[in-house]
Structures are given as structure tokens and as C-alpha cells.
Amino acid sequence: MTPETPAPLLAGVVAGGASADAWSRPVTTLRTADFDYDLPPDLVAQVPADPRDASRLLVIDRATGGISHRAFRDLPGLLDPGDVLVVNDSRVIAARVHVRRATGGRVELLLLRPALGGVGIPGDEAPWSPWWEALVRPANRTRAGEILVVEAPEDDGRPGAVGEFDLRRSRCATESEVRVAVGGRLPSGGVAVRFDAPVDAVTARFGEMPLPPYVRERLADGSRYQTVYAREAGSAAAPTAGLHFTPALLDAIRARGVEVVPVTLHVGADTFLPVRADRIADHPMHAEYAVVPDATAAAIARARRAGRRVTCVGTTAVRATESWARATGASRDRLPDVGWHGWTRLFLYPGAPFHVVDAMVTNFHVPRSTLLMLVSAFAGSEVVRAAYESAIKARYRFYSLGDACLFR
């Protein structure tokens, strides 16, 4: 679970690097526009591959820029015995909740994370849940001290009881209502809210899966927006590079002699937001909570000492492990056997050193995003640019529900 009171935030500080490529210019001159590209709209995936591992896999050699086209189910043969595969086991919560104001107006809340601080709760002494940070749509439709009422999604058939907690027993305005108290606006731009019922029960009963804004229709099977190894609830968006794995594929990877180890990074809905600053160094990176267990840290350290590769599945696993390295004062040749947990704002863009990661499985990312900047930092901007051009030409499917690439 994500704690309400964070450890000190780990800021991402990177050093500049020189290259002829615009995407790899020294950090003092990097512009958000340098990370733009044109994508035909019909290449934005609207549904995931079926089965999961039928997605395509673009394999890129970082040293040579060589490119090959494979299927994702070929991944076990691209890993070596003794390697470590790091996956993010965070589970997406049904974080989109519809509410109604006393005026009758309707508002949508997107729950991001437990709030780092709250504003005094209005009203009585009801058993309110802890404060959560939320995005409000339409913006500026709520005010501090206001009480909202949760509404069930249309055509919803879910029961009123969740586990042992019956929402109808909460202290509400009516027998069937769940209330939401609105606190103040937070420094991040979100709003503090809390419910008069447990948040887990509210999202299970009333919440909707928070699909990315470019996915236009609800998935027929909501489990397809969860990884098969999702365990720790807390994300407002899926770690989508992991959506391609099946239990059988993971078994094949382990049979290959690869150790599969978990980290947790709870993905915030901020990941959908574009970088608006002209200079990327001016972008205020959002905070996310990460956990690297001791067993995972020990496995990575063993692999590094043995000269084996560490492959991270997704940018979230990269940020978790690289945050661990920075928080523990590690270097590429000296990784600790103990883990770490805490809040991180680590922002990796060209010029950043990587202490842990040797290879990365990731999807194709939105232009001008911090995710594309991270991949460019890892693989080199010219290599990434060429890979994306090749994928577009070969009509790969892009973004969260699309195909994948392996940079190694």
C-alpha cells in the first residue's frame, strides 16, 4: 500500500551529453519539440492483441542500430540464462469515479494517489477515508468544503456490497448514497477528496477503469488492462509494456534460466499529460511511489556481479530500479543487496546515466512525453528515431494497447 506521508522525494538530476542529434543535445538546450513525431491516426491501437503475446516486437540493437521484426512470444529466445527480468507488479484500480453536485451538475474524478496532505474536512464526524489526490473534469467545477454524491456508471450491474463492507451502511445523505468531501487544491494542481466509505470499496462498486484518453471505447474485458502478474493495487494507469505477457510465456522465460523479479511503481494518471514546458528541464515531474524489495535488489546485484544483463519491462520498472540506485548511492559496478521504497520524481532524458538497466522492453510512446524522453536517454535519440520510423513504415500499433519494442 502507498503510505499517506511520503519519504523525501527523489528528484531526477541528469547531466548533459553532446551529440549531433537534436534529441541528444546538452540538457541546457533540450526542447520538448525535439521529441515530436507524426503518427497516422489509424496506428493508435484501440484494442489489445489477442492473445496477449501475439503482439509484434521490434528488436533494436542499441550499439549498431540494427532492427529486426519478431513476435512478442519470441522474447524468451532473446534473453540469456542468468539474466534478470524486472517487472512492475502494480495493479490498476478503477480510479475514474462519477459524482453529482448539490446543484445537479455532474463531475468526473480521476483518483491519482493518496494525498500528500489534506485540508480540514467539512461536516460531521463520519468515518471518512484518508485524503486522495484527484483530477476533476470539468476543471474548476468544485470548491473546498463541498459535499458531492457518487453515482454508479450507466448500465451498471455491480452489487452494492463489496467484500464485508456494505456501502448502504455508510453514513450518507440517503441509504444508498456515498458522499465525497472536497478539500483544497494541492500544489500539484489536483484536488484533495475523501469518501465516507473505504476507497477500495468505492472504486470496486462505482469506479471505472481509467483508460488513456486516446482509447475511445471501453474494453469488453477490463482484465486486458491489467498485467497477468499485477498484485499491488495503486496505479491509475497500467504499466503497459507488461500487457504482452501470458503465464505460459513467463514460464518459458523462467525455463530459459531467466530470473523474473518484481518491483512496484504505482503509475499516476499524470503519465497521460503532455510536457508543456518549452525546455524539458523546466518540466515539473510528478511524484510516484516505488518499492524495490530486498530479494529483487539481491537478484539484480548478483546478476551484475556475474556479468549478466538486467532487462526492465517498461519505463516504470526502469524508474523504480534507477531510483533505487540513486537513493542508495549505488553505481553501475556497485549495486547493493538491499532494497528501497519511497517517492520519486526521477526524470530521465538524454544525458542521464543508467546504473541498473541493460535492456528494456517497452511500448511505442506518445510524442512529447516523458516516456519517449526516457527511452531516448537509454537507447540514443537517433536509434529511437530510426526505430519509430521503421515501426510506422511496417504499420506497428502504437501506444498503450499497441505493440512492443526491445532495446538491447
CATH of the domain at 18: 3.40.1780.10
Confidence of residue 24 (pLDDT cuts 50, 70, 90): very low
Average pLDDT for 223-245? 95
* pLDDT higher than 90, residue 222: no
Residues 276 and 257 in one domain: yes
Render pLDDT for 388-398 as a digit per residue (tens, 0 to 9). Answer: 999 999 999 99
Is residue 2 a part of any domain in this protein?
A: no
Render pLDDT for 195-209 as a digit per residue (tens, 0 to 9). Answer: 999 888 898 889 988
Residues 124 and 146 in one domain: yes
Q: 3-state class of 392 per DSSP?
A: helix
Residues 164 and 84 in one domain: no
Is residue 17 a part of any domain in this protein?
A: yes
Confidence of residue 166 (pLDDT cuts 50, 70, 90): very low
Is there a cis peptide before residue 51, judged by omega within 30 degrees of 0? yes
CB within 8 Å of 375: residues ≥ 6 apart:
315, 360, 362, 365, 384, 407
CATH of the domain at 191: 2.40.10
pLDDT attached to residue 16: 27
Confidence of residue 315 (pLDDT cuts 50, 70, 90): very high
* pLDDT higher than 80, residue 148: yes
Helix axes 370-379, 381-393, angle to 10 degrees: 110
Is residue 73 a part of any domain in this protein?
A: yes
What is the rounded distance in angstroms from the CA atom of residue 300 to the CA atom of residue 119? 41
Structural domain of 200: 96-206
Decide which of 113 and 283 is more confident.
283
Q: What are phi and psi of 212, to 5 degrees?
A: -60, 155
Which of 184, 206, 228 terminates a domain? The answer is: 206
Is residue 118 a part of any domain in this protein?
A: yes
What is the rounded distance in angstroms from the CA atom of residue 167 to the CA atom of residue 158? 12
Say how many domains are in the chain: 2
Residues 242 and 314 in one domain: yes
Helix axes 315-327, 370-379, angle to 10 degrees: 70
The model carries a pTM of 0.84
Average pLDDT for 38-61? 98
* pLDDT higher than 60, residue 318: yes
